[in-house]
């Protein structure tokens, strides 16, 4: 096979249909960027879940009578609750926080820069609580079922509700991005098929001559396949470059404060590189399939 002739035909075809080539590259880039955004949303959802699952606590807040009367948890019902929690299946640790420590913690963290609100909290006080960590956070319902109605317990709160909401939000973003990417991908596939068909018809005479002198069908079709693959590769490079540019200019600006406050885990260059390893083969593979289908069903030399 004469590779010089083959690649010469590829670049000639791309140059001959320059406007369609540019349109295909840009459409592919946009669709793969949307797909990459959806994959980043998936990674963000997974990272949020992993990030918060390690920090998930079940908090049992005690009623006012217990909170004010038993600051050291040495009397029942606080003492028996503490002992039963430590013996419960899936519980790895239990921490008792009395009302005074709870107020101090809130003043030093949540209302650190809001002294007025901190004073209100100090005046009203906060309930004592047990902070319970589980080795399997999906079993939090068992803690609720066993302790929610026990004497001295005012309410049971679970961080998993917040984690589930955050994950659901990013899953929604992912689904929206995938939907838009699917529409863009369909447009890209149709454009690729159309470009290959037009390019093949434009060179129908010379392809016919090549067939007459013994060239195989595969040899005559390969330049058109490579044209589509090369255009898709350029679109993939633009899409990946766009994701890397979007990280500091869009993602970090929109979520930077949440990253800095460790509310959300960061999207890193490694995340984008992992997404690039997915979207690039997809772009090239779909381009090759679209080109082959166009040659197989619409262009017969």
HSE (CB half, 13 Å, CA atoms) of 107?
17
- How far is it, in rounded angstroms, from Cα 102 to Cα 98? 6
What domains can you pick out in the chain, each with its CATH number? 3-52+164-297 (no CATH), 57-158 (3.30.70.3040)
- How far is it, in rounded angstroms, from Cα 257 to Cα 264? 9
Residues 6+ apart with CB under 8 A from 74: none
Specify the pLDDT at position 237: 93
Three-state secondary structure along 154-215? EEEEECHHHHHHHHHHHHHHHHHHHHHHHHHHHHHHHHHHHHHHHHHHHCHHHHHHHHHCCC
Chain-centroid distance, C-alpha 98: 39
Specify the pLDDT at position 238: 93
Q: Which of 218, 228, 237, 222 has the alpha carbon at shortest distance from 288? A: 228
Q: Which of 168, 167, 189, 143 has the alpha carbon at shortest distance from 290? A: 189
Compute the average pLDDT of residues 50-64: 80
Per-residue pLDDT band for 121 (boundaries 50, 70, 90) equals low
User: What pLDDT digit, counting tens, does each position of 168-222 carry?
Assistant: 777 787 777 777 777 777 777 777 777 767 666 665 655 555 555 555 565 666 7
R_g of the chain computed on alpha carbons: 31
Specify the pLDDT at position 43: 82
Compute the average pLDDT of residues 273-293: 85
- How far is it, in rounded angstroms, from Cα 291 to Cα 301? 15
Compute the average pLDDT of residues 109-122: 56
User: What pLDDT digit, counting tens, does each position of 59-85 carry?
Assistant: 888 988 888 888 888 899 999 999 998
What is the rounded average pLDDT for all residues in the chain? 77
Compute the average pLDDT of residues 82-99: 88
Specify the pLDDT at position 285: 87
Say what the pTM is: 0.66
Q: Which of 134, 41, 146 has the alpha carbon at shortest distance from 90? A: 134
108 or 235, higher pLDDT: 235
Contact criterion met (CB below 8 Å) for 188 and 27: yes
- How far is it, in rounded angstroms, from Cα 187 to Cα 31? 9
Least-confidence region, from 55-69, 198-212, 243-257, 281-295: 198-212
HSE (CB half, 13 Å, CA atoms) of 93?
8
The CA-atom distances, in angstroms, between 106 and each of 65, 130, 159, 163, 295 are: 21, 16, 17, 21, 68
- Map residue 216 onto helix, strand or coil: coil
The CA-atom distances, in angstroms, between 294 and each of 12, 175, 187, 232 are: 19, 30, 14, 16
Contact criterion met (CB below 8 Å) for 235 and 27: yes
Angle, alpha carbons 58-63-65 (nearest 5°): 145
pLDDT > 60? residue 159: yes
Per-residue pLDDT band for 100 (boundaries 50, 70, 90) equals confident
User: What pLDDT digit, counting tens, does each position of 215-241 carry?
Assistant: 556 566 677 777 778 888 888 999 999
Specify the pLDDT at position 202: 60
């Amino acid at each position: 096979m004469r590779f010089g002739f083959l690649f010469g035909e590829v670049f000639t075809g791309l140059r001959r249909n320059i406007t369609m080539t540019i349109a295909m590259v840009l459409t592919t880039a946009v669709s793969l960027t949307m797909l990459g955004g959806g994959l980043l949303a998936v990674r963000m959802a997974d990272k949020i879940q992993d990030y918060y699952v390690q920090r998930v606590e079940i908090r049992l807040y005690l009623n006012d009578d217990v909170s004010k009367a038993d600051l050291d948890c040495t009397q029942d019902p606080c003492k028996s609750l503490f002992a039963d929690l430590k013996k419960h299946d899936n519980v790895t640790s239990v921490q008792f926080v009395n009302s005074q420590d709870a107020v101090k913690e809130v003043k030093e963290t949540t209302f650190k820069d809001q002294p007025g609100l901190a004073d209100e909290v100090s005046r009203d006080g906060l309930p004592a609580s047990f902070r319970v960590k589980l080795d399997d956070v999906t079993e939090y319902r068992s803690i609720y079922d066993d302790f929610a109605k026990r004497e001295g317990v005012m309410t049971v709160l679970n961080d998993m509700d917040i984690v589930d909401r955050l994950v659901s939000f990013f899953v929604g973003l992912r689904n929206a991005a995938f939907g838009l990417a699917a529409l863009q991908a369909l447009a890209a596939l149709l454009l690729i098929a159309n470009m290959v068909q037009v390019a093949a018809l434009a060179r129908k005479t010379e392809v016919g001559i090549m067939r007459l002198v013994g060239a195989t069908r595969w040899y005559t079709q390969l330049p058109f396949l490579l044209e589509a693959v090369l255009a898709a590769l350029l679109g993939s490079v633009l899409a990946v470059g766009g994701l890397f540019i979007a990280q500091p200019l869009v993602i970090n600006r929109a979520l930077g404060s949440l990253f800095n406050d460790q509310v959300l885990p960061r999207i890193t260059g490694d995340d984008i590189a992992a997404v690039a390893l997915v979207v690039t083969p997809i772009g090239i593979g779909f381009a090759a399939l679209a080109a082959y289908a166009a040659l197989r069903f619409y262009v017969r030399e």
